[in-house]
Structure 1
Amino acid sequence: MIKLLICDDHAVVRSGLRMLLHGNQGIEVVGEASEGDEAIRMAQELEPDVVLMDLSMPHGKDGMTATTELKKLMPNVSVLILTMFDDDEYLFRAIQIGASGYILKNAPHEELMSAILSVASGNAYLYPTATKRLMSEYLVKVKQGGEAAGPYDALSDREKEILGWIAKGYSNKEIADSLVISVKTVESHKSNLMEKLGLKTRPELIKFALKKGLLNFE
């Protein structure tokens, strides 16, 4: 019996998933959480095999942060991201922090079942179109010379763009105003790119940007 913990901020979604999954193909829904901290606490108490994790939970710890912390505390638990975001940046980030799978909320019932069974068995799962995009990007890299991707290559286009702005000395608000996004979004991108690059200080960031030729002010 696969023990499953559901984490989603919408009670209706949690209830629907419970009714859909409970007892189906050997799956037992052992608990529900409405935000990340609650999911981490319940996972430690209930020891589920799989945590079905939403990404966007505005009233508590979000799914990315919760997954990162949960994998550090319980590296053997499989986290399956269930989200509405069909976005490469979210997908790649989820994989990097240790999620075992990524599936969209509009996926058919059978696909969700397959995803849960797959990650519970220790395998990875990506929805079909995501797999196709990953393969396409891999083939492009091979055709370009087959060089191994470095930390910079792991950044999204937006993160690379914001890296350039930060390295040139612009504040978060100035970047947000220029790109017509919120300051909070800039801060989130900045945190992600610094973690991906393994950088902790602005001088380190400027040095990295200089090596990458990102400080052309023309």
Structure 2
Amino acid sequence: MRIGILGTGRMATTLGGAWVAAGHDVLVGGRDLAAAAATAARIGAAGHGALRDAASYGEAVLAAVPADAAAELVKSLAKDLTGRVVIDCTNPIVPTDDGVTLSTGGTTSIARRMVEAAPDAYVVKAFNLCHESIWTLSPPLFEGEPLAVPLCADDPASLELVSRLVTSMGCTPMPCGGLSRAVHLESTAAFAIGAWWSGAEPRFAFPTPGQSPQPA
């Protein structure tokens, strides 16, 4: 799969590296061409260029930029993103005195704002729940099971494409409904990040429900 990456930061580097390792053709785009070149070299990408180059490169485009800048960036590239799958891995979190909260107020999602900014692109919310270090694992296994990657999308074909991308990384796609539910993924990220920052382990709050005893 051909994938363009908008951004040169940690998520761009770790997800891009995982996709290169999985055999995908990746091009890194950035405002700073030197930074894009360095990131591309670090992960063994096929090439680098400007943001517009990455936006028009392949079937899928990862928006790995600060959450509050993502919609405006997508809007500026809307023509290039027409018909492409745009993956939103952002989390619009801001620190508070007692943890973190969402800069959106939790009433909408960055994914929804991306749709409004580029209505002819197909936005998929994915890869936002894990710290970037998780994507350096090959494959990401936990208690012997592949990592599940929650996905939200309105377009079935886009959901299928990103599901294939997830599977190629050794992970399991977890479809969670349409983009109206992307706000819940962002809220979950805010909860988990706040727990990590406080020294807690959020996964212990989500045990698998116990099975009822079977009648004799």
More strand by share: 2
More helix by share: 1
| Pair member with larger Rg | 1
RCO (CA 8 Å, sep 6+): is it higher in 1 or 2? 2
TM-score by length of 2: 0.42
